[in-house]
Amino acid sequence: MTVPNGWKRAGAPDRDDVVLAVDFEAIGRPEASFRDLIPAVEAAAELWTAVPPPVPVPAEPFAAHMQHWTAGVLESGRNVVAVLGFCAGSVFATSLATHLRGSGSEEPLLVLFDPERPTTTTLADQLANAGATVQPLLTPNEAASLDSSLAAARATSDVAAAATRLIGAYDELVQGPFLRAGLNQRYRDELARSFRSLMDYLTAAGSADFAAARHAADVVYSEHWPEAVNEPATMVRLPIEHGSLLRSDRCREVLSDLLERRAAASTGAAA
Amino acid sequence: MTAFDDLVASVLDLPAGDVHDDIGPATHEAWTSLRHLQLITAVESTYGFEFSRDEIRAVRSVGDLREALRSRGAVR
């Protein structure tokens, strides 16, 4: 069966039911991803991972992202049994679950992993990480410009303004140190496009009213992640560091158990 | 030791004997987004083809990269 625009099927199984997963998987990122949770999902459903909208997204970035992800799912007519979110993706996942419930579909399970509503610090950290990869290649002027952009972004609470500043600073990295590191135009363009897409994604999530979202969530936290959801349906804290959370056996077990319980409840309700 | 291992070792600044399929961004700190694309570029240049955008993102380890080359008949 085909997968609608805005989603990509992870893993091979062809199932009637679908689990949606929202995350932003940047090139070469060290953190685990929802692809690591395929074994927990594939017995019951297909896993569809979110593909971000093309850049630049229109004004109202949160609405643009939601439109990008909801339209195809609703048109597909597929039964969404669960919506998963990782970090900032939890903001979108919560809204998706609420939207699907409101559209008359069966109420999906909502599972959030280390949920976070991004701030300007979150955005600035992305540029800082990129800058660290080319630190030895930075000229003094480039290093000063990078520091200035990071400080300006962290000093404001306006995520959209911070994103604009950070995108400009990243483009300077692409045209300077990334060029000197030997990356060809194709891959410098890919990095610039990917960073722009990440900033759009984080800006959208940061502009949403996550605290006001109303959909009972099961929340899984890594060892030190701060609590970010009021009154979760269930909450599990695992002794695992954030970057490894989604690839851990315990996390797979928790998700498998939640999906099994959801399936049993659904079967019971239908009987 | 293979030519592929030598290539990976040179990009990731590792002794060639230390290259194994589980090395990736999660296990090797030096595997950054920049190194990821340098590795992809080096492989493309050496073996004479281009990866698709999806393939570039799907690679998460030396083993994934080796498998992508195997699927093209570039390595055994």
Domain map (residue ranges) of chain A? 7-117+208-270, 120-206
Q: Are A183 and B53 an interchain contact pair (Cβ–Cβ within 8 Å)?
A: no
Pick the CATH number of B3-71 from 1.10.1200.10, 3.40.50.150, 3.90.1150.10, 3.30.230.10: 1.10.1200.10
The ipTM of this complex is 0.88
Closest residue of B to A177, CA-based? B34
Positive or negative CA dihedral for A51, A52, A54, A60? positive
Q: Say if the Cβ atoms of B37 and A130 lie within 8 Å.
A: no
Q: Is A180 on the interface with B (CB under 8 A)?
A: no
Average pLDDT over residues A10-17: 82
Using an 8 Å CB-CB cutoff, list chain A residues near B37: 27-28, 183, 187, 190-191
Mean residue pLDDT of chain A comes to: 93
8 Å CB contact of A181 and B26: no
Rounded to two decimals, the pTM is: 0.93
Domain residue ranges of chain B, discontinuous segments joined by +: 3-71
| CA dist., res. B47 & res. B41, Å (int) | 10
pLDDT at A239 over 70: yes
Distance, in angstroms, between A31 CA and closest chain B CA?
A: 6
Give yes or no for A127 touching B (CB within 8 A). no
Shortest alpha-carbon distance between residue B40 and chain A (Å): 10
Say whether pLDDT at A158 is over 70.
yes
Task: Kindly indicate the confidence band of residue A44, based on its pLDDT and cuts at 50, 70 and 90.
Answer: confident
3-state secondary structure A152-193: HHHHCCCHHHHHHHHHHHHHHHHHCHHHHCCCCHHHHHHHHH
User: Confidence band (pLDDT; 50, 70, 90) for B30?
Assistant: confident
Identify the architecture of domain A7-117+208-270 in CATH: 3-Layer(aba) Sandwich (3.40)
- Residues of chain B contacting A31 with CB distance shorter than 8 Å: 26
Is there a contact between A30 and B38 if contact means CB atoms under 8 Å apart? no
Residue B11 has what pLDDT? 93
In a mutagenesis test of the A interface, which of B12, B28, B37 is the best target, namely the one with the most A β-carbons within 10 Å? Answer: B37
Q: Which residue in B26, B67, B20 sits closest to B43, CA to CA? A: B67
CA distance to A179, A189, A210, A218, per residue, from A146 (Å): 16, 19, 30, 39
- Which chain A residues are within 8 Å of B35, Cβ to Cβ? 28, 133
> Using one digit for the tens of pLDDT, what is the confidence trace for A76-129?
889 999 999 999 999 999 999 999 987 777 789 999 999 999 999 999 999 999
Interface touch B34/A183, C-beta < 8 Å: yes
In tens, the pLDDT along B64-75 reads 999 999 988 877
Q: Are A68 and A99 a contacting pair, CB within 8 Å?
A: no
Whether the CB of A265 is below 8 Å from some CB of chain B: the reply is no
The single-letter code of the amino acid at A137 is L
Interchain proximity A243–B32, CB inside 8 Å:
no
Q: Given pLDDT bands bounded at 50, 70 and 90, which one contains residue B29?
A: confident
